[in-house]
Amino acid sequence: MFHLQTFGDLRLIETSGDPVRYPIKGLLMMALLYTGPSRELSRYELAQFLWSDVEPEQTRLNLRKLLSRIREMDGARAELPFDFTATSVRLDAQAVSSDLDIFHAGGAPLERLKAIAELTQRGFIGNIKPATKPIDAWIRAQRDAQALQLRQAWLDALPEVHNPGDARIISSAALQILERDPNDEQVRALLHQLSGGSSLSERLGDRPARVEVKRSAAGGEAPGDTEHILPAPLILPRLVLLPPTSKHADAGLALANALIEDVTIELCAVRNISIVAPHTAGQIRRDSEKAAIVARHSIAYLLDTRFSEEGLFAQLIYFPTDEIIWANRFAMTPDILPRQRRLIAQQLTLSVASELAENEEERLRFEANPQAYHSYLVGSSLMSKLTLPHIRRARKAFKQSLAHKPDFSPSFTGLARTFTSEWLVTAQGDNELLHLAEQHALRAIERDPSSAAGHRELGVTKLYLGDVDASVAALDLAEELSPHFADVIYSHADTLVHASRPGDALAKITKAISLNPLAPDAYLWCAAGASFFLEQYEEAVAYVEAMKDKAPAHRIAAASCAMIGDRKRALFHRQRAESINPVFDVEKWLAIVPFKELWQKELYREGLLRAGF
């Protein structure tokens, strides 16, 4: 006997448990025959299925080669899974079993539901990109049929729920069904009836996303008026609730996980979002490349949670801009949690749902311009590294974004950031770069005055132009517009360093790092600067050491080491800084960098001179 595994990785396994080396197209052929009514197809049908995009004569030749290869591989085995004739191929039902058999198995309804749900959440043939349209259509048809069977198994198992363990099986499967079809109102209603009902819909109301358009004189449609309203798009924004992490795995973490499950079920009452099922959420949490997998699943929002002795910290992140649009901490002491778990879940749910509704206009603006959005994301990803090649490639991407949509505000903010970043990295005092940054920041604000991002870039630019008070004012406004936007708080902290308020700056950058724990290097660089001006030199060096790319911060590290008399480390950092920028001049740089009070400039000069610059 062989076992054909079709969920997750498509592969063939011997009874001993060892995988069989088999051509992928041979496995696809086996899976196709296994799902067919007679488990037999003509050679012509198989050839068209596997190679529909080539000439008929070539498809027949390809099939003959595949069958010949399979004969050679199976020649040493007593039982072959295939029977070949001159005109057809048949799969021997006695020689092969499959995980697909679960759909036809009997047993207790709850156990059958659990088995089907665990199987389908792994994804039917999830490791193969369909090479032909017939293969793609067949995989889609199979997944649709399996979804219907999961739904029927769920309905069959519903009357068998008698305890919390049974309810968890039902809830998890229901979320899986709703992830695939958010409009399944019967499953949604039954799930909430099972969970004791929810007043969320009544408290929040169903707020349909709306796109306002006006008719032009030519009879077309254009954005900007309220004369004509288009319905919400059929594709709903997707939200993933990442299970909580904790440094200490204890009973509190288990309770926090249960709380997030409650919130997941509560959010199913909101019909304007699609909830990612907990299994997928767990995979995303464990994946080292979270951003890539989030993008692959077309997820717009993440609710990231962390559990500690202080309680449950939750933050709602809008993935396209990496903006934290809401954050809060919930006390979860053992003495109050059993009584208040439901209340906390409802508070957390209502907050998340309200923020999602308010952010929908932003999401629709992004998704209405996919090419502009894609180029913007490319530019944003490049800006994670403060090197001149990355900055200039990012600038090119932002310009491409504006070529697709000339009034795309986020790309103007991105362009502004490239100019200020180049000014910083080159350290040549080129004010033309700053004036370009200011122009683009103002264009971003003109197109979207309510966005914190444009005001942030204006504040950063004003700082480097020497207008520290205007910089603080712009960043105060940016933080007021988006109080949980970690990047805005970081920029505000950086300005406060130059405003001769390093203590306030360190407090703000610490908050930014708490909101964005896997902090970008720029955050750590800012923290190092604040620590230096507080004369906390060891702490300043520690922040630099934590940076992945220390290139921009070698000067502050060298100055810090010199101030504590560590000449060896000061020399190391100075040599690194000079290799990056061999024409750096202390007095020229200090004449450029804005500091509100003279003591700050004198302290930095002393550190740099002691380091040997």
Radius of gyration for the chain, computed over Cα atoms and rounded to the nearest angstrom: 30
Residue 197 in contact with residue 150, Cβ under 8 Å?
Answer: no
- The whole-number pLDDT of residue 348 equals 73
pLDDT in tens, 375-428: 887 787 777 676 788 898 989 989 998 898 888 888 898 899 899 988 887 777
pLDDT in tens, 463-522: 888 888 898 899 889 888 877 777 888 888 988 988 889 999 999 999 888 777 667 788
- The whole-number pLDDT of residue 160 equals 84
Give me the percent of the chain exceeding a pLDDT of 70: 82
Q: Is the pLDDT of residue 207 over 50?
A: no
pLDDT in tens, 335-366: 665 566 666 777 777 777 777 766 666 666 66
Q: Where are the beta strands (DSSP E) in 79-195?
A: 82-84, 88-91, 96-98
Distance set, CA 335 to CA 244, 306, 330, 338, 340 (Å):
20, 20, 14, 7, 10
Average pLDDT over every residue of 255-270 = 72
Distance, CA of 534 to CA of 599 (rounded, Å): 12
**Residue partners of 259: CB distance under 8 A and separation at least 6:** 312, 332, 341, 344, 345, 348
Q: Is the pLDDT of residue 563 over 50?
A: yes
Q: Phi/psi at 192 (nearest 5 deg)? A: -70, -30
Q: Is the pLDDT of residue 224 over 60?
A: no
pLDDT in tens, 27-72: 899 999 999 888 888 989 988 888 988 888 888 898 888 888 887 7
- The whole-number pLDDT of residue 262 equals 72
- The whole-number pLDDT of residue 539 equals 93
More confident residue, 164 or 146: 146
- The whole-number pLDDT of residue 53 equals 81
Average pLDDT over every residue of 598-605 = 91
Residue 466 in contact with residue 594, Cβ under 8 Å?
Answer: yes
- The whole-number pLDDT of residue 214 equals 31
Residue 440 in contact with residue 399, Cβ under 8 Å?
Answer: no
Distance, CA of 492 to CA of 592 (rounded, Å): 20
Q: Could you give the dihedral angle defined by the CA atoms of residues 541, 547, 552 and 554, in that order, rounded to the nearest 10 degrees?
A: 30
Q: Is the pLDDT of residue 229 over 50?
A: no
Chain length of the chain? 613
Q: pLDDT band at residue 258, thresholds of 50, 70 and 90?
A: confident
Q: pLDDT band at residue 571, thresholds of 50, 70 and 90?
A: very high
- The whole-number pLDDT of residue 333 equals 67
Q: Is the pLDDT of residue 221 over 70?
A: no
Computed over every residue of the chain, the mean pLDDT equals 80
Residue 109, token pair as written in the block: 């309804």
- The whole-number pLDDT of residue 198 equals 47
Residue 59 is given by DSSP the state H
Q: pLDDT band at residue 448, thresholds of 50, 70 and 90?
A: confident
- Among 145-159, 210-224, 238-252, 418-432, the range of highest mean pLDDT: 145-159
More confident residue, 205 or 15: 15
pLDDT in tens, 290-319: 666 776 777 878 888 887 777 778 888 877
- The whole-number pLDDT of residue 223 equals 34
- The whole-number pLDDT of residue 438 equals 92
Residue 418, token pair as written in the block: 């490239």
Distance, CA of 411 to CA of 406 (rounded, Å): 9
Average pLDDT over every residue of 70-78 = 65
- The whole-number pLDDT of residue 524 equals 92
Q: pLDDT band at residue 106, thresholds of 50, 70 and 90?
A: confident
- The whole-number pLDDT of residue 458 equals 92
- The whole-number pLDDT of residue 218 equals 31
Q: Is the pLDDT of residue 556 over 80?
A: yes
- The whole-number pLDDT of residue 537 equals 93
- The whole-number pLDDT of residue 384 equals 66
- The whole-number pLDDT of residue 521 equals 84
Distance set, CA 78 to CA 75, 215, 275 (Å):
8, 73, 49
More confident residue, 130 or 213: 130
Q: Which of 308, 300, 352 minimizes the C-alpha distance to 517?
A: 308
Q: Is the pLDDT of residue 201 over 70?
A: no
Q: Is the pLDDT of residue 528 over 80?
A: yes
How many other C-beta atoms lie within 10 A of the C-beta of residue 18?
Answer: 8
Residue 42, token pair as written in the block: 């003509």
Average pLDDT over every residue of 135-143 = 90
- The whole-number pLDDT of residue 75 equals 58
Average pLDDT over every residue of 532-544 = 93
Average pLDDT over every residue of 206-218 = 33
Distance, CA of 283 to CA of 9 (rounded, Å): 15
- The whole-number pLDDT of residue 216 equals 30
Q: Identify the helix (H) or strand (E) that includes residue 303.
A: strand 301-308
More confident residue, 347 or 160: 160
**Residue partners of 578: CB distance under 8 A and separation at least 6:** 584
Residue 243, token pair as written in the block: 């299970």
Give me the percent of the chain exceeding a pLDDT of 90: 18
Residue 175 in contact with residue 278, Cβ under 8 Å?
Answer: yes
